[in-house]
Amino acid sequence: MESEVNQMKKLVTTIFFLTFLLLAGCSTQSEKAATPSEKEVKVSKETKISKNGSIDADYNIPEDSKELENKSEDIVKVKLVKNKKIGDYDKEKMEYSSTISEVEVLETYKGTFKKGDKIDVSEPWYLNEGAYESIENYIALEQEQEYTLFLRGGHDSEKLSSIISMGYGKFNEDLKETDATLTDFENLGEVEAYNFISEEQEEVTNYTEIKEDVLKEFND
Quick: pLDDT tens for 99-142.
Answer: 999 999 999 999 999 999 999 999 999 999 999 999 987 999 99
pLDDT, tens digit, 9 for 90 and up, residues 58-93: 788 899 999 999 999 999 999 999 999 999 988 888
How far is residue 131's CA from residue 47's CA, in Å, rounded to a whole number? 6
Helix (H, G, I), strand (E, B) or coil at 54: strand
Q: Is 202 exposed, middle or buried (0-12, 13-18, 19+ CB in 10 A)?
A: exposed
Average pLDDT (201-212) is: 95
Residue 145 buriedness (CB in 10 A; 0-12 / 13-18 / 19+): middle
CA neighbours within 13 Å on the CB side: how many for 15?
6
Domain boundaries, the chain: 1-36, 49-217
Residue 30 confidence (pLDDT): 45
Neighbours of 165 (CB within 10 A): 20
Q: Which tens digit of pLDDT belongs to each residue from 166-198?
A: 999 999 999 999 999 999 999 999 998 899 999
DSSP 103-138: EEEEEEEESS--TT-EEEEEESEEEETTEEEEETT-
Q: Give 151-154's long-range contacts (Cβ < 8 A, gap of 24+).
A: 151/72, 151/73, 151/74, 151/75, 151/76, 151/111, 151/121, 152/71, 152/72, 152/73, 152/74, 153/73, 154/73, 154/74, 154/113, 154/119, 154/120, 154/121
CA-nearest of 100, 180, 98, 113 to 148 is: 113
pLDDT of residue 58: 79
Instruction: State residue 35's pLDDT score.
Output: 37
Among 140, 19, 171, 154, residue whose Cα is nearest residue 74: 154
pTM here is 0.80
**Which pLDDT score is estimated for 29?**
47
pLDDT greater than 70 at residue 22: no
Amino acid 113: pLDDT: 97
CA distance 119 to 124: 16
